[in-house]
């Protein structure tokens, strides 16, 4: 069966479908979303500048704008398959669209997502276990502090993929070609070194099954800003739900070196 393209996937989400977006519209870049009051936009952009591995900014929509240049006919309030609404660092709603929460002073940041390089991994013969298993990628809050910026601070969040030991080097080289979507891993092996007690119980997303000989490999993750929203208790924000991304019209390779 032919897979839906990015525009059709956005329409499905706009029509109410709610599911992680990993594996959908293969070959097209996906993005994390953070919408914040203008008042906090500088601190956020500076946080991204100081933490480019987890926060590679692909686009900034001016206050109140909802159409992304990365996706024709898009509306960032409705076109993702899941959102979290935040108040004072607490999740106050998990919803399928956010038009009723929207404010004219919200500046929207689209941030690169590692789902973008998963097609390249598979094309190079590196299995992507969570896609094969039809689940969301597992994500973990680490003990590694990001560099603070203004009112924003928090720890790094990582995504984890089990990679066959003999393919770790290939996974590093392939993903290293995609710095705008988190690039090479931040850590290979021992989860404890990141403060991750158990790779089977992710903080976000789904657990993934390891195959014999797999090594856990960790990439910086665009959920990191959500950890910063929590830690910094920002009065208001809207984000995507972890793993529920904005699917763009931009081919993956546009973000390759």
Distances (CA, A) of 243 to 72, 179, 246: 22, 19, 10
Strands 90-95 and 28-37: unpaired
Stretch that binds its own copies, among 44-52, 127-135, 206-214, 243-251 (CB under 8 A): 44-52
R_g (Cα) of the chain, nearest Å = 17
Residue 227 found at the interface with its own copies (CB under 8 A): no
Residue 245 found at the interface with its own copies (CB under 8 A): no
Stretch that binds its own copies, among 11-19, 42-50, 201-209, 212-220 (CB under 8 A): 42-50
- Determine the Cα–Cα distance for residues 25 and 117; give it in Å rounded to an integer: 12
- Determine the Cα–Cα distance for residues 8 and 13; give it in Å rounded to an integer: 9
Stretch that binds its own copies, among 39-47, 95-103, 206-214, 225-233 (CB under 8 A): 39-47
Closer residue to its own copies (CB): 57 or 126: 57
Closer residue to its own copies (CB): 40 or 246: 40
What is residue 89's DSSP assignment?
A: T
> Residue 31 has which token pair?
């993005």
- Determine the Cα–Cα distance for residues 229 and 244; give it in Å rounded to an integer: 18
Closer residue to its own copies (CB): 177 or 207: 177
The residue count for binding its own copies (CB under 8 A) is: 9
Residue 250 found at the interface with its own copies (CB under 8 A): no
Interacting residue ranges for its own copies, rule: CB under 8 A: 41-42, 45-46, 49-50, 57, 60, 257
């Amino acid at each position: 069966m032919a897979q839906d393209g990015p525009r059709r996937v956005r329409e499905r989400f706009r029509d109410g479908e709610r599911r992680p977006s990993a594996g959908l519209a293969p070959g097209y870049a996906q993005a994390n979303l953070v919408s914040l009051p203008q008042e906090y936009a500088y601190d956020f952009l500076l946080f991204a500048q100081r933490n480019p591995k987890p926060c590679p900014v692909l686009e900034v929509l001016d206050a109140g704008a909802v159409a992304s240049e990365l996706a024709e006919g898009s509306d960032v309030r409705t076109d993702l398959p899941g959102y979290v609404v935040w108040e004072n660092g607490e999740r106050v709603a998990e919803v399928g669209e956010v038009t009723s929460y929207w404010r004219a002073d919200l500046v929207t940041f689209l941030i690169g997502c590692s789902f973008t390089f998963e097609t390249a991994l598979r094309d190079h013969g590196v299995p992507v276990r969570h896609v094969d298993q039809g689940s969301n990628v597992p994500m973990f809050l680490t003990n590694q502090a990001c560099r603070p910026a203004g009112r924003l601070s928090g720890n790094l969040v990582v995504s984890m993929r089990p990679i066959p030991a003999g393919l770790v080097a290939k996974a590093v080289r392939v993903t290293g070609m995609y710095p705008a979507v988190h690039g090479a891993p931040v850590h290979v092996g021992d989860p404890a070194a990141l403060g991750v007690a158990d790779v089977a119980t992710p903080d976000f997303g789904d657990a993934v099954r390891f195959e014999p000989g797999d090594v856990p490999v960790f990439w910086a993750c665009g959920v990191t800003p959500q950890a910063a929203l929590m830690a910094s208790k920002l009065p208001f924000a809207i984000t995507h739900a972890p793993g529920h991304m904005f699917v763009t019209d931009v081919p993956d390779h546009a973000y390759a070196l």
